[in-house]
Structure 1
Amino acid sequence: MKPRAFEGGCLCGAIRFRATGAPVKPHTCSCAICRRHSGALTLSWVEFPAASVAWIGPGGRPATWRSSAFSSRAFCSTCGTTIGAIDDDPVVALATGAFDKPHLKDLAPTAHSYVSRRPRWWHVAAEARGRRED
C-alpha cells in the first residue's frame, strides 16, 4: 500500500510541501514563540520525520529564523505565511493551517501544549459545539 501524502503551502504558492506517511503528535500550542510566530492565540501543528517532507514548490525550502536552541521557524519569504518549524531532531512540524486539506481527521489535534500561557478569557475546547461554519 502506498503511504498517504499530505500537501500544502503558503499563500502565494512559492513554498509547497508534500509530507508522506503518518502524521505524528498533532497538537495545538499557546507558548509565547508559537503565539508570536503565528499572530494567533494558539498554533496547530503536526509533525513528520524530516526525511518524509519534500519541498516541491518553485520557492524550494522555506526561509527560517532560529527561534530556540533546538528549532527554527519556517515561513515564506515572499508572502510571510507561517509554514512551521524545522527542528534539529530531525523533525518538521507543519502548521495545520498551511495544509490544502486541514480538516482531515489525521491532522486533528489530540493535545494542547502551554495551556497556562493562553489568555485567561480564552478557553481551549476540543471542538465547537452546536456551531458549524462551512
Structure 2
Amino acid sequence: MFYHGGCLCGHIRYQIAGQARDPHTCSCRFCQRHSGSLTQMWIEFDEEQVVWNGEGGMPTLWRSSETSCRAFCRICGSTLGAIDDTPTLAIAVGTLDNPDQPELSPHYHTFKDCRPAWWSLNDE
C-alpha cells in the first residue's frame, strides 16, 4: 500500500510505503495549537517508510517535547506531522491526497478532557 500527500502549497510532498497503523484523533493542547483545530487526526509509520519527495525535501521541525518534534512547511505553515525521537513518524491525515480510505478510520480519541466544555459528541 502507498500513501501520498503534502502541504497546502505543494512545497513539501511525501510518499509512504506500508500499512498505516494506530489511526487516532487527539485533542491535547499541542495538537490543538499545531493544527489550529480542536482535534487532530494521526496515522503512524516507521520513519524509513516515509520518503520526502517534494522540492522542499523534509519539513521544518520544531521540538515540542522531550521526545518529539512537530513537522510543518516553512513556506505555507501547513501542519504535516510529528516525528518522534524513536523511529515513529505520525502523519496528519488531512495532508493525505486521499484521506477517504476505510483503514484510516480512527480507533480511539486521546485527551478528550482537553476539549472545550461546550463540546459534546454522540460517541461518549
Instruction: Give TM class, smaller chain.
Output: over 0.9
Match of 1:101 in 2: 98
Aligned-pair distance for 1:20?
1.1
Aligned-pair distance for 1:123?
2.6
Which amino acid in structure 1 is aligned with residue 62 of structure 2?
W
Could you tell me which runs of 5 or more consecutive residues in structure 2 were left unpaired when the two chains were aligned: none
Which amino acid in structure 2 is aligned with residue 93 of structure 1?
A
Which amino acid in structure 2 is aligned with residue 66 of structure 1?
R
Question: How do 1:1-134 residues align onto structure 2 when only pairs under 5 Å count?
Answer: 4-124=1-121
Aligned-pair distance for 1:125?
5.0
Which amino acid in structure 2 is aligned with residue 98 of structure 1?
T
TM-score, L = length of structure 1:
0.89
How many equivalent pairs are there?
A: 123
Distance 1:10 1:79 in 2: 8
Percent pairwise identity: 50
String of CA shifts for 1:77-134, please: whole Å, max 9, x gaps. 00000001011111110000000011111222111010111112113456xxxxxxxx
Which amino acid in structure 2 is aligned with residue 123 of structure 1?
S
TM-score, L = length of structure 2:
0.95
Distance 2:28 2:9 in 1: 27
Distance 1:125 1:16, change over 3 A: farther
C-alpha root-mean-square deviation of aligned residues, in Å?
Answer: 1.0
Distance 2:119 2:96 in 1: 25
Which amino acid in structure 1 is aligned with residue 52 of structure 2?
W
Could you tell me which runs of 5 or more consecutive residues in structure 1 were left unpaired when the two chains were aligned: 127-134
Runs of 4 or more off by more than 4 Å in structure 1? none
Which amino acid in structure 2 is aligned with residue 121 of structure 1?
W
